Amino acid sequence: HLERVGFIGLGNMGSRMANNLIKAGYNVAVHDINLSVIKMFSDKGISVKGSPMEVAETSDVVITMLPSPTHVLDVYTGPNGLLSGGNPVRPWLFIDSSTIDPQTTRKLSSVVSNCALIEKKDSWETPVMLDAPVSGGVPAAENGTLTFMVGGPEEAYKAAQPLFSSMGKNTIYCGSSGTGSAAKICNNLAMAVSMLGVSEAFVLGQSLGIKASTLTKIFNSSSARCWSSDTYNPVPGVMDGVPSSRNYDGGFASTLMAKDLNLASASAKEIGVKCPLTSEANHIFTKLCDEGHGTKDFSFVFRNFYSGKDE
């Protein structure tokens, strides 16, 4: 019962994920508001739909990969949205892979499970929603090696496993609805803070007379070693094949990082948890975007805020 898959949001990530589902043999129908991306799919003979509602009418499973919570809410509950075609609904499973906040995920999950199904599927009495954000970026989306972090009913997670395996390498079950979203925003806040920490340390180090390449060797065999120092170094020329070595183009846009830090800040505020480093990182990335660098990879923070001397 997983064969008819609707896919909404065919951007940098979604277009590649949808392609991997098509390659795996699923009967995929797609929708996006960007007509040029839609044309790429219709030219390949893939079924394209004019609205999320039309996708829902013909799909057993619907996957969304959209920029932010407002887009996801719009696609689910807006006019011509997934749930606007009346109740009962056709899809038994809704998977949202967008990075959004756990509060929005939980709200939508309860709206979904309050609907009825046109046709009952196995033991499912009502449709189910899983939050399944991803890590790995565009290359992993392309190669089908994403990591999925999944929240929602465990039985639905198990049933959806073949879909996740078609698009990713690792799938981690996180717990009840919203825990996948929580895992993702926590991962990205730690990544932002470590990138800022590494950038700040490199600027100070260079100013004190140590070369960035030497400091990188030291970090990577010492206790400061982290993904930002050994895999995604922000200093131009230290590492090949990373955004810092191609003028910070491609990679993970600073606007998306600012959005994720906003989600983490808002979630922390809502539940009364103090996150001072998240606030500071949020402030820095928001300023970076306001200054016109939003499309640059997030490791651009090194250049913008800590513009130390190059080697």
| Interface residue list for ligand NAD (CB under 6 A) | 8-14, 31-34, 37, 65-67, 71, 74-75, 98-99, 134, 137-138, 252, 256
Distance CA 96, CA 11 (A): 14
**In whole angstroms, how close is the CB of 69 to ligand NAD at the nearest point?**
9
- Comparing CB distances to ligand NAD, the nearer of 111 and 118 is 111
**In whole angstroms, how close is the CB of 284 to ligand NAD at the nearest point?**
18
- Comparing CB distances to ligand NAD, the nearer of 16 and 203 is 16
- Comparing CB distances to ligand NAD, the nearer of 74 and 230 is 74
Q: Give the Å distances, CA to CA, from 22 to 3, 65, 167, 277.
A: 10, 16, 10, 41
- Comparing CB distances to ligand NAD, the nearer of 33 and 268 is 33
Q: Which amino acid makes up residue 57? A: E
* Residue tagged 């999320």 (tokens): 52
Max CA pair span of the chain: 69
**In whole angstroms, how close is the CB of 203 to ligand NAD at the nearest point?**
25
Task: List, in order, residues 6 or more apart from 162 with CB less than 8 Å away.
Answer: 2
Say which of 49, 120, 184, 287 is annotated catalytic: 184
**In whole angstroms, how close is the CB of 206 to ligand NAD at the nearest point?**
28
Tell me which residue of 65, 290, 305, 88 sits closest to 192, measured CA to CA: 305
| Beta-bridge mates of residue 89 | 117
Q: How far is CA 218 from the centre of its chain?
A: 32
Tokens of 267: 């979630």
| Beta-bridge mates of residue 61 | 5, 93
Catalytic residue check, 274:
no
What positions carry a catalytic annotation?
184
